[in-house]
Amino acid sequence: MLDLVARLGHKGLKKLEAFGSAGVILMQALVARPQPFTMLPLVVKQIHFVGVLSLIIIVVSGLFIGMVLGLQGYTILVDYGSEQAVGQMVALSLVRELAPVVTALLFAGRAGSALTAEIGLMKATEQLSSLEMIGVDPLRRIIAPRFWAGFICLPVLATIFSLVGIMGGALVGIDWLGIYEGSFWSNMQNSVDFREDILNGLIKAVVFGFVVTWIAVFQGYDCVPTSEGISDATTKTVVYSSLSVLALDFVLTALMFGDL
């Protein structure tokens, strides 16, 4: 029994230590001596990898989720004779919740795992050591640009997700199910507020971008440089970032919309 408690405590301490070193890495990568001129091309390159190349999966899933929302909303709302509220429902659920959360989950799977694997492999092939020996801090050279890229990309992707999703909802609602176009859009415009809904959704996406990329680069940087170590770290990235996104989403929703 005592043994169990001791082991639990040991595990807790180890987690705390990992969290601490993740924080230290983040600080060192971001705070110390920003060098915008050497940094910018590196960030652009990483935005290409984590953002532009994730675009297709984001657009496709956004479209389908919007279409499903339109269909489901219609079948329920038509019972109450208020099928023109489909637009409002699709827009609110996308902008407030689904766009930031689903984008973050897809991003963790598509870009986060790739980041972890890439950095882990760099560690395994001594590229990080070699940078250090050349006299370049790998945190600044490797970690910081990737971090900024993830941080910038997720809100952009989430916004595109929202828009595509709403267009998908409109396609199903207006063109297939025959909801009157005017009331579909005006209902949506009446209920969606720019600051309250769209900006809050965007803030969520920014927070998720921060968390997912942080987890991804830390797992990569901290992994055991063997094949098992890297695959382990990649799995951890996806699991940890998904869980953190879902938990944080609750907290943020409570703060933004819950009047807590």
Partner 1 sequence: MRIRVMEIGVGAFLLAGMVALLMLALNVSGLNLERKNTYKVYARFENIGGLTERSKVTMSGVLIGQVSDIRLDQDALQALVEMEIHEEVDFLSIDSSASILTAGLLGEKYIGVVVGAEEEYLQDGDFFEDTQSALVLEDLIGKFLFNEVSE
Partner 2 sequence: MDSFEDVIIDIQNLSFARGERAIYNNVDIQVPRGKITAIMGPSGTGKTTLLKLIGGQLKPDQGSILVAGKDIPRLGRRELFDMRARMGMLFQSGALFTDISVYENVAFPLRVHTDLSEEMIRDVVLMKLHAVGLRGARDLMPSELSGGMARRVALARAIALDPEIVMYDEPFAGQDPIAMGVLVNLIRRLNRALGHTSIIVSHDIQETLGIADYIYLISDAEVIARGTPEEIANTSSQKVRQFIDGLPDGPVPFHFPAGDYQSELLQDS
Q: What residues line the site for partner 2 (CB under 8 A)?
A: 45, 122, 125-127, 129-137
- Burial of residue 27 (CB within 10 Å: 0-12, 13-18, 19+) is exposed
* 206 lies in the binding site for partner 1 (CB under 8 A): no
Instruction: Tell whether residue 190 is a contact of partner 1 (CB under 8 A).
Output: yes
Q: Say which entry of partner 1, partner 2, none residue 135 contacts (CB below 5 to 8 A, set by partner kind).
A: partner 2
Which residue number, 36 or 135, has a Cβ lying nearer to partner 2? Answer: 135
Compare residues 167 and 229 and give the one whose CB is closer to partner 2: 229
Gap between the Cα atoms of 8 and 23, Å rounded: 23
* Calpha distance 170→159 (Å, rounded): 17
User: Pick from partner 2, partner 1, none: which does 129 bind, CB < 5 to 8 A by kind?
Assistant: partner 2
* Contact range with partner 1 by CB under 8 A, out of 10-18, 30-38, 39-47, 213-221: 39-47
Query: Which range, of 14-22, 119-127, 152-160, 250-258, touches partner 1 by CB under 8 A?
Result: 152-160
The answer to whether 17 contacts partner 1 (rule: CB under 8 A) is no
Nearest-10 Cα torsion for 226, 234, 147, 37: 40
Residues 88-107 that bind partner 1 (CB under 8 A): 91, 95
Q: Which of partner 1, partner 2, none binds 133 (CB below 5-8 Å, type-dependent)?
A: partner 2
Q: What is the DSSP string of 132-186?
A: HHHT--HIIIIIHHHHHHHHHHHHHHHHHHHHHHHHHHHIIIIIIS---HHHHHH
Contact flag: residue 47 with partner 1 (CB under 8 A): yes
Please tell me whether residue 5 adopts helix, strand or coil conformation.
helix
Strand, coil or helix: 1: coil
